[in-house]
Amino acid sequence: MCGIAGWIDWQADLTGQRAILEEMAETLVPRGPDSEGIWTSRHAGFAHRRLIVVDPEGGVQPMSRTHGGETYTLVYNGELYNTDDLRGELAARGYRFTTTSDTEVLLVSYIEWGPECLEKLNGIYAFAIWSHNEESVFLARDRLGVKPLFYTQQGSSFIFGSEIKALLAHPAVKPEITKEGLAEIFGLGPARTPGVGVFHNVFELLPASYLLHTRHGMKTKRYWSLDSHAHPDDLETTIDTIRHLLGDSIIRQLVADVPVCTLLSGGLDSSAISAFAAQAFQEQGMGPLHTFSVDYVDNDIHFRANEFQPNADAPWAKRVSEHLASIHHDIYFDTQHLIDSLPVALHARDLPGMTDIDGSLYLFCGEIKKKATVALSGECADEVFGGYPWFHREEALSATTFPWARNLREKTKFFSSDLHAEVDLEAYVKDRYQEALDEVPRLQGESGHDARIREMFYLNLTRWMPTLLDRKDRMSMAVGLEVRVPFCDHRLVEYMWNVPWSMKTYGEREKGILRQALRGALPDDVLMRRKSPYPKTHNPSYLASVRDKALAVLHDTSSPILPFINVKAVKEFASLNLASVHMPWFGQLMNVPQFFAYLVQVDMWMREYRVVVK
């Protein structure tokens, strides 16, 4: 994995602007700690920071190649999982390769097929290609949006980068937000509307889309989308197909020239990936698989089961590790670690995020990085197979808003009358929700519960999953760890999209069809374990610490967040006995402690990024 940035301007000579590109690249050093590359021409400049995973010598970027009198230059962040297939097809067409890197294969694929090459790629990627003769830049992003890519147009300058911080390093880009940005932070946050970069005039290239920018203007186009049709396969064929697609995805994603490991919680998804990986390691004589799990000091004392977290992970991770004979690493963090991680996680994401849920993942990835450079994660199985509680509960299915944010009104009572006068947060979220529903590819003749379930899958794949993928990319890449997500293989997503709900819930269990597909790969008790999300701390000291930090922010008259907060309401809430208060305001994990921590992060963000509200 890597970090990329670029600058296009037809009204300026960029050959003398290397220093600005270096500044942009500097912000991306954690994504690519191993090397830097800068390339400039009269009207275009690229910057690249590299994390070496495949072909240390041959994958140097920016990479240029001349063919048919035209020269192309590429910067690329990601991995192709069908590199060998593409290389073979291109070799048959007469191309010769000088490296074993997927970078060269991607560049040659574009040279041969142009934008249509995207239809052939299996991987996670965000890249830019400059065509020297045409003087055009082509940007593209993978189908599910695993790898990030942001851009802005500032006067005659078109600027892009893997992260928002790379754009802000350019002198033309200012850290300004408008009403839309306020609505994103206080209404939708820590989620984001697809395509919205929160900062004024900053945009995110949508997943499964490309952008072509020339002297004559800019256009974007979607190159892949879900297609609704009747599912053609019977139950047995469906189970076999799922097992094949998942297994093939995992095996493809094990390819690397650096140490590879898996994240293992003992849940169905991470256990499945670890099982396939451990078998491949054994068959290929690669030694035992290393697996990693995260937990918190004294969670065994303070853990209390609830509707979202029915049981603790630690015993289950141990169970699966012993079954697979993996070398397992239990990583533990304490309250102070989580407090200290809040500003680091904020900087990694460039926006207020999932607070300690982000920070603990950042810390976890930092520990993994000491022993591996690539990790496989079970992220996104619940979106693809329908594992979340809101797929199965009537109050969520009948809600008229995003199911992970049903308590918006309860949250917004803590915001100031000035903010409410400036932005109607409830109306903003309602409009964004309706936009999502309007996009759903309907199945002709489908209605009632089945139609609503299809909507729920679309909401999860396009609105909820990006939040988790953003979190996973930023926290892992902030320490130079590449995390791959086999359940995001577009072939598996396409197939599961049209599998009927009655099959997905085989045996009247969430993800029942996946459990059947994994028969024999995992012990039965692991197969039948109830879903439990990424673990969080249950230590009351964390609540006490973030509450105190939030109150300190409110007592500081210089706090930039104050105009947006109902200080009296927050203080009154903070004075309550909150040990038993249940206020799930975002997703499964963000409750009372995370609400206080989110306010702290918003204040940090406005201070450190010098945010100006227009």
DSSP H helical ranges for 460-591: 465-477, 490-497, 501-504, 512-517, 524-527, 540-555, 567-574
Q: Which helix (H) or strand (E) holds 589?
A: none
Contact at 8 Å (CB) between 70 and 77? Answer: no
Q: How far apart are CA 315 and CA 525, in angstroms?
A: 12
Q: Return the SS3 of 260.
A: strand
Amino acid present at 501: W
Largest CA distance in the chain: 73
In the set 2, 261, 365, 380, the catalytic residue is 2
Hey, what are 428's tokens? 């903003």
Q: For residue 300, give the 3-state DSSP assignment.
A: helix
In the structure encoding, which two tokens stand for residue 323, read together? 């079954």
Cα–Cα distance measured from residue 464 to residue 471, given in angstroms and rounded to the nearest whole number: 11
Structural Rg of the chain based on CA atoms: 24
Q: How far apart are CA 411 and CA 413, in angstroms?
A: 6
User: How many other C-beta atoms lie within 10 A of the C-beta of residue 436?
Assistant: 17
DSSP alpha helix (H) spans, 460-520: 465-477, 490-497, 501-504, 512-517
CA 207 to chain centre: 11
Whether residue 404 contacts residue 190, with contact meaning beta carbons closer than 8 Å, is answered with no
Contact 79, 254 (CB under 8 A): no
Q: How far is CA 19 from CA 24, 40, 73, 525, in A?
A: 9, 11, 20, 58
Residue closest to 46 by CA, chosen among 154, 147, 123, 158: 158
**Tokens in use for 326?**
């993996």
Strands 136-141 and 63-67: unpaired
- Nearest residue to 48 via CA among 104, 101, 4: 4
Residue 601 DSSP class:
H
Reduced to 3 states (helix: H, G, I; strand: E, B; else coil), residue 216 is coil
Q: Which secondary-structure segment (H or E) carries 179?
A: helix 179-183
- Asked if residue 160 lies in contact with residue 128, where contact means CB atoms within 8 angstroms, the answer is yes
Residue 388, token pair as written in the block: 């979340």
Residue 522 in contact with residue 300, Cβ under 8 Å?
Answer: no
- Separation of CA 114 from chain center: 27
Annotated active-site residue 365? The verdict is: no
Residue 521 to residue 505: CA distance in whole angstroms: 19
Cβ burial of 519 (10 Å; 0-12, 13-18, 19+) is exposed
- Sort strands 374-376 and 482-484 into parallel, antiparallel or unpaired: parallel
Q: CA 24 to CA 556: how far, in whole Å? A: 33
218 CB-contact burial (10 Å; exposed 0-12 / middle 13-18 / buried 19+): middle
β strands within 150-248, DSSP E: 150-154, 157-161, 176-177, 202-204, 209-214, 217-222
Catalytic residues: 2
